[in-house]
Amino acid sequence: MIYPTLWIECRRQAGDDTYGQPVLGAMTREKVVPVKLEFTAAHTTVRTDSAASHGHAYEVTANVVLLALPTTRIAPGDILTVQSHKVRVITAHQRFRPSGEIDHVQVICTAWK
């Protein structure tokens, strides 16, 4: 049994706009247990427009693992706001107790731009 302590905002992708960019739907709030919240900004080696940025580009990365209650509506592809950082859900796996009942859902996320 888990005891959620952190409120997050969850938005499901409602579709795409005319340019192929995702359009987010209504916001819901979920309470989760943070296991790993790792946000970093690493210098990227990708060549950038040297006239504008002189090659100094940084890429924001995130490695987030959350545990949610079995009744959660979080699904892969959802956009979560965790402590003002936006992350996209990669996987949401159910984890079971030894008795065979669902104990919690493990949610793994990455940075969303």
Looking up tokens 């959660």 gives 72
CATH of 6-111, one of 1.20.1250, 2.40.10, 2.40.50, 2.60.120: 2.40.10
Q: Which residue has the higher pLDDT, 68 or 113?
A: 68
What does the pLDDT read at residue 41?
Answer: 85
Statement: residue 113 has pLDDT above 80:
no
Provide the 8-state DSSP code for 100: S
Q: How confident is the model at residue 15 (pLDDT cuts 50, 70, 90)?
A: confident
Q: Where are the domains of the chain?
A: 6-111
Q: Which residue has the higher pLDDT, 33 or 16?
A: 33
Q: How confident is the model at residue 22 (pLDDT cuts 50, 70, 90)?
A: confident
Distance CA 40, CA 69 (A): 27
Provide the 8-state DSSP code for 88: E
DSSP H or E run through 68? strand 58-68
